[in-house]
Amino acid sequence: MYVAVKGGEKAIDQAHAWLAEVRRGDQNTAVLDTAQIRDQLTLACNRVMAEGSLYDPDLAALAIKQARGDLVEAIFLIRAYRTTLPRFGASAPIDTGAMTCIRRISATFKDAPGGQLLGPTFDYTHRLLDFTLLANGEAELAETERQTLNEPLARVSDILGKDALLQPEPSGNEEPGDLTRQPLAFPADRALRLQSLSRADEGFALCLAYSTQRGYGRNHPFIGELRVGHVEVSMEIPELGFSIVIGEITVTECETVNQFVGSRKQPAQFTRGYGLTFGHTERKAIAMALLDRALRWEELGEDDTGAPAQDAEFVLSHADNIQATGFLEHIKLPHYVDFQSELELVRRLRAEAEQ
Amino acid sequence: MMQSRAEWMGLLARSNPPMVAQAWESLGLSPPFKWLRAPELGAVMVRGQAGGSGKPFNLGEMTVTRCALQLVDEQPTVVGHAYVQGRNKAHAEQAALVDALMQTQHANQVDRMVLQPLANALALQVAEQKEKAAATKVDFFTLVRGEDE
C-alpha cells in the first residue's frame, strides 16, 4: 500500500528549475533546435516514435530535447501526450509491398528480384570514430545513379510461397484487438502480440530475441527480407464515404524464414516471423520477428522448451518500458509509512525472539 | 487536371506544410468561409498485417489534423474537407480551402497553381530517393572455398 506524503513544494520547484538549467547546458554553446534533433538524431526520434507508439517526428524530437536525451523518458512523454488525442479512426492496413524502399536486403536470396539495396546503413562500416564529425565536417551529398528500379519490389516471401515451401499467412479481416483500449489479457492472439512487440522496449526485445539464437527456444531464423521505406496511410472518411491518403510514414519491415521440420499435421516447410515498426528501426524489427516466431510455437505444434521467449505472458507483460519504468522507479518515491510498518514488525519479531 | 477528389486530398495530406502554404499563397485567393468543424488535432490508429499480407493488427497511432469548412459565397453549397498528417492547423485549413475551391469555377487555376506544383515536388522527392537507393544496389557473389572437396 502506498501512503501519500505532503510537502516539499518549494524544493520540488527549485529542483525542476535546476533541471531546466542543466537541460540547457553551457550558455556559450548554441541551443539545440528540435529540427536539428529531428533531422540529425533521426534514429533516436524513430525509436521514440516506435516505442511511444505515435508517429510524429516533430513531437519525438521535442520529447528527446525535453528529456535531455533520455529516450525512455521521451517515450514516456509521448505516451502521455497520445492519451490526450481523440481517435479519429483506424487506417486501412498499410501496404508494405508498395513501399518506396530506401533499403531492402535479403540474407536468403542474393539475387532477390528487384535487387538488394543497401540504403543508408551502418552495415559494413568499420565502427571507427570519425573525427571529422568532431571538427564539424560536412558530409557530401550521396551520389545518385540515374537508373530506375523495378518497383514495387516483389516480396521475397512470395517467391518461397509460390512453391508452398513457406507456410502461407492466414488471411482474415477480423477487427484486431487494441491494447491501448483493452488491457492485455492472456492468451493473447497474434494481432495483440504484434502490437505489443512493435511498441516493446528495444533492449528487452533485442536481448530476448538473442536468447532464442543462443538456444532458449531456438528456431533457426534467416532474414528473408528486411525493408525500410515510405508507405502511404489511407483511411475511410465517414463523412465523405470514400477512402483517402492521410499521410506517409517510414516503417521497417522484417520477415524471417525459419526452419520447420514438419509435424504430424504439416509437411516440412519454412515458417515465418514478422516484424513491423515505425521509422528506421531495424534492430527492433528483426528482434520483433524473432520473438513473433518464438511465440508461435503452440500454433505450429512445436515443443514448449520452457524458454522465456516462448512464454507470451512473460514476454508481453515485461516488454513495455513505460510500465516497467513506472513500477521500477516508483520505489524511489517516499515510502516512509510502508517502511515504518516493516521496521516496527522487524523490531517486534526481534524483541519476541530475545524473550 | 486532377479529377479525383481522393487524389487531391491525398496529395494535400502528404505534402509538407511549408510547401502547401507557399502554393496556397501563390494562388492569391482568400474566399470567405465558415467553419463546419474547426481544425482539430487527433490520432489515427495505423494498421499493419501479420506477415505483410495476413490478418490486420494495430501498429501504432499517427497524428492527424482535420477540419471542414463551407464557402459562404457559393451557391449551391460547397464544403471543403481536410485530413492531413501532423499537427499543423494552417495546413489543414489550406487543404480544406483547396478541396472546396476545386469544386468551383476556380478549379483549373487551383490545379495549376497549387496541385501541380505540389505533385511535381513530391514526384521529385520520390525520384531522388529512388535514385539514391539505386546507387546502393549491391551484387553479392558466393565463392566456392574448396574446403569441402
Contacts of B72 (CB under 8 A, 6+ apart): B32, B33, B34
Residue with the bigger pLDDT between A169 and A323: it is A323
Shortest alpha-carbon distance between residue A157 and chain B (Å): 9
Split at pLDDT 50, 70, 90, the class of A48 is very high
Cα–Cα dist A230/A43, whole Å: 15
Q: Count CB pairs under 8 A between chains A and B.
A: 242
Mean pLDDT of A296-313: 91
Find, in chain B, the residue whose alpha carbon is nearest to that of A142.
B132
Split at pLDDT 50, 70, 90, the class of A171 is confident
**Which chain A residues are within 8 Å of B128, Cβ to Cβ?**
144
Of A21-25, A149-153, B95-99, least confident by mean pLDDT is A149-153
Mean pLDDT of A110-121: 87
Q: What is the ipTM of this complex?
A: 0.93
B24 near B94, Cβ under 8 Å? yes
B15 near A204, Cβ under 8 Å? no
Q: Give residue-wise pLDDT tens across range B73-82.
A: 888 899 999 9
Nearest to A85 among B42, B83, B133 (CB): B42
Label each residue of B7-30 as H, E or C.
HHHHHHHHCCHHHHHHHHHHHCCC
- Show the cell assigned to B70: 463551407
Instruction: Flag whether pLDDT at A112 surpasses 70.
Output: yes
Instruction: Flag whether pLDDT at B145 surpasses 60.
Output: yes
Instruction: Flag whether pLDDT at A1 surpasses 70.
Output: no
Q: Do B48 and A96 touch (CB under 8 A)?
A: yes
So what's the pLDDT on residue B28? Answer: 93
Q: Do B138 and A97 touch (CB under 8 A)?
A: no
Q: Give residue-wise pLDDT tens across range A247-301.
A: 999 999 999 999 876 766 677 888 899 999 999 999 999 999 999 999 999 888 8
Residue B55 in contact with partner chain A when CB distance is under 8 A: yes
Q: Give residue-wise pLDDT tens across range A183-205.
A: 999 999 999 999 999 999 999 99
Q: Do A53 and B60 touch (CB under 8 A)?
A: yes
Lookup result for grid cell 571538427: A135
Residue B149 in contact with partner chain A when CB distance is under 8 A: no
Split at pLDDT 50, 70, 90, the class of B68 is very high
Residue A55 in contact with partner chain B when CB distance is under 8 A: yes
Query: CA dihedral defined by A296, A260, A155, A173, rounded to 10 degrees?
Result: -30
Split at pLDDT 50, 70, 90, the class of A217 is confident
Domain boundaries, chain B: 5-123
Mean pLDDT of chain A: 91
Q: Do A88 and B14 touch (CB under 8 A)?
A: no
Buried b (16+ CB within 10 A) or exposed e, B75-86: eeebbbbbbbbb
A225 near A109, Cβ under 8 Å? no
Which of A49, A89, A115, A92 lies closest to A231, judged by CA? A92
Instruction: Flag whether pLDDT at B1 surpasses 90.
Output: no
Quick check: bond before A187 cis, omega within 30?
A: yes
Of A16-25, A122-131, B35-44, B81-90, least confident by mean pLDDT is A122-131
Instruction: Flag whether pLDDT at A329 surpasses 70.
Output: yes
Mean pLDDT of B10-31: 95
So what's the pLDDT on residue A3? Answer: 65
So what's the pLDDT on residue A143? Answer: 67
**Which chain B residues are within 8 Å of A243, Cβ to Cβ?**
6
Q: Do B6 and A243 touch (CB under 8 A)?
A: yes
Residue with the bigger pLDDT between B121 and B75: it is B121
Cα–Cα dist A214/A351, whole Å: 51
Residue B28 in contact with partner chain A when CB distance is under 8 A: no
Instruction: Flag whether pLDDT at A104 surpasses 90.
Output: yes
Shortest alpha-carbon distance between residue B55 and chain A (Å): 5
